[in-house]
């Protein structure tokens, strides 16, 4: 006979109880508020800016991790400009956590097209289209004691590093679409899951 806090024993056999399995404790779906035509942005402009605050109201320590699911992204840029969208996140754990504004880039997506105008027969105008599929990043937050909270922040920032020129038929677009944050928890027992 198997008896333990996180085990079940039934006529079908023994196994993990539902409280032992990782479970989603919070979710946030955030849409981009600026998709479409863009202008020059030497400093980062938030396309998506969201956060999650969760408190461990159980009697047991929990091990947390966050999944950051980003939608497929698309961009259009004209010669010779660069357009970029950078993803960043930060988190804090404590009794009254306050995650700093995410500033370090964790993932990015961008493109630049530069046509050479060195000869009379070279292309005078160029445009690039680029798409990437959706992807997921897992962030290990670690253990959190009963009564403690976690504050997780996520930002997708658009910028245009380097030189910028607006031609007669320039086209600059960026589509970040959405990001989904999912916070997962499982019991933290003797320092491991």
Tens-digit pLDDT string for the chain (193 aa)? 555 667 777 888 888 777 778 999 999 999 999 999 999 998 889 999 999 999 999 888 999 999 999 999 999 988 778 889 999 999 999 999 999 999 867 777 777 666 666 655 555 667 888 899 999 999 999 999 999 999 999 999 999 988 888 777 788 899 999 999 999 999 887 644 4
In this prediction, residue 14 carries a pLDDT of 82
Domain spans in the chain, listed from the N-terminal domain onward: 23-115+122-187
In this prediction, residue 122 carries a pLDDT of 55
HEC states along the chain? CCCCCCEEEECCEEEECCCCCCEEEEEEEEECCCCEECCCCCCCEEEEEEEEEEECCCCCCEEEEEEEEECCEEEEEECCCEEEEEEEEEEEEECCCCCCCCCCCCEEEEEECCCCCCCCCCCCCCEEEEEECCEEEEEEEEEECCCCEEEEEEEEEEECCCCCCCCCCCCCEEECCEEEEEEEEEECECCEC
Model confidence, pTM: 0.84
In this prediction, residue 103 carries a pLDDT of 80
In this prediction, residue 149 carries a pLDDT of 98
In this prediction, residue 107 carries a pLDDT of 75
């Amino acid at each position: 006979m198997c008896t333990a806090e996180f085990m079940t024993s039934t006529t079908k056999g023994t196994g993990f109880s539902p409280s032992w399995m990782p479970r989603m404790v919070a979710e946030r779906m955030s849409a981009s508020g600026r998709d479409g035509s863009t202008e020059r942005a030497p400093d980062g402009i938030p396309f998506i800016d969201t956060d999650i605050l969760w408190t461990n109201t159980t009697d047991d320590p929990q091990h947390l991790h966050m999944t950051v699911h980003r939608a497929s992204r698309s961009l259009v840029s004209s010669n010779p400009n660069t357009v970029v969208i950078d993803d960043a996140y930060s988190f804090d754990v404590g009794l009254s956590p306050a995650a700093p504004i995410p500033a370090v880039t964790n993932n990015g997506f961008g493109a630049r097209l530069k046509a050479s105008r060195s000869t009379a027969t070279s292309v005078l105008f160029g445009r690039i289209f680029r798409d990437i599929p959706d992807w997921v990043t897992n962030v290990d937050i670690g253990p959190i004691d009963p009564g403690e909270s976690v504050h997780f922040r996520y930002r997708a920032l658009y910028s245009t590093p380097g030189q910028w020129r607006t031609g007669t038929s320039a086209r600059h677009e960026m589509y970040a679409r959405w990001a989904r944050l999912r916070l997962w928890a499982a019991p933290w027992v003797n320092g491991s899951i």
